Structure 1
């Protein structure tokens, strides 16, 4: 089967599964709703802000507050794109039709990544503009230094979260096992490792901790992180590449 036929086939699979639309819609709604809420609360509480907090206040990052939960929906999307075929048994039919497993996986990841990128970018820009509207005089604009980079980076971050999840799901093959590992990892374990002094230096090299730096415009107070916004995103890309490589290795060696 030609590569473009495989790509079209994967697109048909993704758009024919209702859970795909629901998870992406949830990512958008949760990210925007929570971002608007936190931005509005930040404006309301601005009068009681101490001078040090004002200096480190990052209006761009505040508008992305919803991505903490929005990324969980992107994780679910990434897992379902891959593992649905395993749970239904359709993976046998798919691999029989496309015996070149590298082409099969690359096509699936390419289509899902493109879809996640469109949704991620649209969500990031919408979250920024809505957040700045709520912040009012505390807000910023795309023309300010570093802001456009942060907004574009927000879309890339959400996309990479989904692709990383695809790689892990390809390795584990089970939706329950994949979500059972990824959800606690991003929502709990990573935050603990990144905020406890004994493990902070290790935690900041985890994919979400490193990648989220791309969304920051105002530097953190007394920050000693050894990489900048693009360096952090680069670390996240390495995690994604490793996850996809592991997924391909498992797919190539195991039976369906």
Structure 2
């Protein structure tokens, strides 16, 4: 890669970062996800603390991760807003006038979104995990440090991949409401139902495969996949949709 190409990529990446950080809805979604996750963590912690018979054996880490299934909704919306927002009011025409390299422009948008999502996801997941540890500090629950670190890294990775996957679907459909309906319907209705009707292939869906990225070894969930397998499948889904989104973006007039 020559110097001019490197500078071009850097400029496009900085431009995409500037656009994302200037969107109020991006920060509203992140802050709302943080607040909602803390409320959920408090609710799950209170419910678990009320079960005096089982609180001694229930993993505090499991309680901290119980909100992940709901937390992913915020990151799905985050990814959708990142790509669909430019199609509102003809902003995409302006972007493509400034950056005519369509494939590179969309690729850098995903990279910029990942840069924003990784620290946001880590902080939000960490807050949810720390809350039950702090509130239930008198409960006899021993969790190894390497398990906690691995779980935090896996949960952060899953939320980041989910955000990028959602951004790719948003770039394909180009409509905020339609994309939100499609993805939330899949993640919260179709996928849970399919686990009963399609048990043999459920582990290969992006959300189910992503589950194995962060569930601790001591969890009651049956481990159908390893951490590496779950991560690989989730990454493959994300990469495939990003490629499809890039191809569609390059072939369209706008």
User: What TM-score, normalized by structure 1, do the two folds share?
Assistant: 0.89
1:77/1:162 contact within 8 Å kept: yes
Q: Which ranges in structure 1 are unaligned for 5 or more consecutive residues?
A: none
User: Does the C-alpha gap of structure 1 residues 222 and 191 become closer, same or farther in structure 2, counting only changes over 3 Å?
Assistant: closer
What are the residue-to-residue correspondences of 1:68-217 with 2, within 5 Å? Answer: 68-136=69-137, 137-141=139-143, 143=145, 145-194=146-195, 196=196, 198-217=197-216
Q: Report the RMSD for the aligned CA atoms in angstroms.
A: 2.1
Structure 2 alignment gaps of length 5 or more: 1-6
Change (3 A) 1:240 1:222: closer
Question: Is 1:44 matched up with 2:50?
Answer: yes
Partner of 1:251: 249
C-alpha distance after superposition, 1:105-148 (max 9, x if no partner):
111111111100010111122221112223331544452x5222
Which residue does 1:232 correspond to in 2? 230
Once residues 130 and 14 of structure 1 are traced to their aligned partners in structure 2, the CA distance between those partners, rounded to angstroms, is 30
- Quickly say closer, same or farther: Cα 1:66–1:11, change in 2 above 3 A: same
SS of residue paired to 1:99: coil
**Structure-2 separation of matches of 1:234 and 1:83:** 27
Identify if the C-alpha distance between structure 1 residues 165 and 101 changes in structure 2 by more than 3 Å, giving closer, same or farther: same
Runs of 4+ aligned structure 1 residues displaced above 4 Å come to 219-222
- What is the alpha-carbon distance in structure 2 between the residues aligned to residue 214 and residue 13 of structure 1? 30
Aligned length: 247
Q: Can you list the C-alpha shifts for 1:82-127, whole angstroms capped at 9, x where unaligned?
A: 0111122110111121111121011111111110001011112222
